[in-house]
Structure 1
Amino acid sequence: MNTETLLDGQARRELATMVERVRESPDRVAVLFPAAARRVARGAGPSGDPDGVLGPTLEDLVRLELLRACAGVLTPDALAREVADLYHHGDSGERRAVLRGLAVLDPASAPVARELMADALRTNDTRLIAAAASGPATDLLDAHAWRQAVLKCLFVGVPLADVQGVPERVDAELVRMCADYADERERAGRPVPDDVHLVLGHSPPDEPTEA
């Protein structure tokens, strides 16, 4: 996704300036990252969702460019520390952008990515949960953690169509868990999210299921 094509001329120039400043002095990202929405752009991205649940917002995309600039000049360890700091010291918008940008981390920094995703998935903030569950870094979650992420998305209303790994990673255990969830909702007279059928309608290879 080319961020510049979504910005007007002034915003593109401001983003280019910020990216260059990060490349020259990566420690400045701590100041520029929070300022991205105010100085460059904010609002709905290509998904049309201004809350950033269905896809990255404009400010998310701008902040991703700053993370990429950091990745181009910092060592893997320094980048992992910077990304973790941006997450832990940021507001919900900044955390959302970090979660969507975890793919900039070196494979050796996978524990940091897992820790940040786990933190987001413990919240009830649909913006953070969607960002944690939808990016390529989700592939770093083990089977148990990934199943729990899928269930959390069902609980809070994050569309499963946007969850990384659905349906490729769906296994018999997740089908069982989602069938139990749907059954509990029905017994309680509560609506069952249509998205659950993205799991229930998938029979993993060599693991036939009645669900």
Structure 2
Amino acid sequence: MRETDPVLRPLRHALSTSAAQWLDTALDSVRAAPSRGLAASFPAAARHCGTAPLASLPGWTVADAARLALLDAVDSPSLSQEVAEVYRYGDAGEKRSVLRCLDPLAPRLGTTALPLVHDALRGNDTTLVAAAVGDYAARHLDPPAYRHAVLKCLFTGVDLANVSGLDARADAEMTRMVGDFAIERVAAGRDVPRGAIHLIVGSPSQVDRIRAELRSTDAHRAAAARRALEVLDAKEN
């Protein structure tokens, strides 16, 4: 089974007759002339196929799946270049589609699409950040880049539930970095995100750092520490 099959099989059931006809014509164009075909069809996929959720695959839309079909039609030797081009010239929705397509295309892409993940993580569009931290990133980002991706999510408010492989890839250095982030939040009198608390709950030293903030003479700081500890205690119990 191809990696793209779990997405492309339900796609056909989600398309209207006219959308399926449009997609077949677009696929023929991409096979005949990848660059020209993608330039015309990739941006148009949302208009012709719609953006309804793909029921069988949480987080995906019908347009995402149609764009995967278009990319999957490209011959392997030029796939990496074509993926980079549609990402480079795409709007936010097209970029999100590319990022979601990376893992199904990973057997053909290898690590060549990592620059796209790094680009998304450098920006402040939280929808792109969330799309960038999927399975492809979990498989291919090196440890420092993966840790910084997690911190990027925390700083921008992206739910860590979007981060693939988090339990398997969390390590002592990530726990330390997240602990520093948590202390910064407490010091500012702000709540610590539950995702951050999940990562430090098993580290007594990090929990003790927050507990020490209860003695702060700053009422807002002490209150933030108290709220964080209440969540920590709930997770431990």
TM-score of the pair, normalised by structure 1:
0.82
Once residues 188 and 137 of structure 1 are traced to their aligned partners in structure 2, the CA distance between those partners, rounded to angstroms, is 31
Aligned residue among 13, 18, 21 for 1:10: 18
C-alpha distance after superposition, 1:85-135 (max 9, x if no partner)? 11111111111111111231456751x311111111000101110111023
Aligned residue among 45, 48, 67 for 1:39: 48
Of the two structures, which has the highest relative contact order with CA contacts closer than 8 Å and spacing of 6 or more? 1
- Cα distance, 1:46 vs structure 2: 3.8
Q: Which residue number corresponds to residue 193 of structure 2?
A: 193
Alignment map for 1:100-139 (pairs within 5 Å): 100-103=100-103, 104-106=105-107, 109-110=110-111, 112-139=112-139
**Aligned amino acid, residue 159 of structure 1:** D
- Cα distance, 1:13 vs structure 2: 3.2
Aligned residue among 26, 29, 51 for 1:21: 29
Change (3 A) 1:157 1:38: same
Q: Which residue number corresponds to residue 30 of structure 1?
A: 39
Once residues 46 and 153 of structure 1 are traced to their aligned partners in structure 2, the CA distance between those partners, rounded to angstroms, is 26
Q: Which residue number corresponds to residue 57 of structure 1?
A: 61
Structure having the higher helix fraction is 2
**Aligned amino acid, residue 4 of structure 1:** R
**Aligned amino acid, residue 65 of structure 1:** A
- Cα distance, 1:43 vs structure 2: 3.8
Once residues 44 and 109 of structure 2 are traced to their aligned partners in structure 1, the CA distance between those partners, rounded to angstroms, is 29
- Cα distance, 1:47 vs structure 2: 9.2
Change (3 A) 1:202 1:31: farther
Once residues 134 and 123 of structure 2 are traced to their aligned partners in structure 1, the CA distance between those partners, rounded to angstroms, is 16
C-alpha distance after superposition, 1:48-107 (max 9, x if no partner)? 9xxxxx82233222211211122xx241xx111111111111111111111111231456
Segments of 5+ residues of structure 1 without an aligned counterpart are 49-53
The count of residues paired between Structure 1 and Structure 2 equals 197
2-11 vs 121-130, greater mean Cα deviation: 2-11
Once residues 42 and 69 of structure 1 are traced to their aligned partners in structure 2, the CA distance between those partners, rounded to angstroms, is 21
Change (3 A) 1:108 1:29: closer
RMSD: 2.4
C-alpha distance after superposition, 1:137-181 (max 9, x if no partner)? 431110000000011111112221121111110001101111111
Segments of 5+ residues of structure 2 without an aligned counterpart are 1-6, 208-237
Give every structure 1 segment of 4 or more consecutive aligned residues whose post-TM-superposition deviation is greater than 4 Å.
105-109, 208-211
Once residues 76 and 94 of structure 2 are traced to their aligned partners in structure 1, the CA distance between those partners, rounded to angstroms, is 20
- Cα distance, 1:40 vs structure 2: 1.4
- Cα distance, 1:199 vs structure 2: 1.6
TM-score of the pair, normalised by structure 2:
0.74
Percent identity between matched residues is 43
Report the structure number with the largest CA radius of gyration. Answer: 2
Q: Which residue number corresponds to residue 142 of structure 2?
A: 142
- Cα distance, 1:45 vs structure 2: 4.1
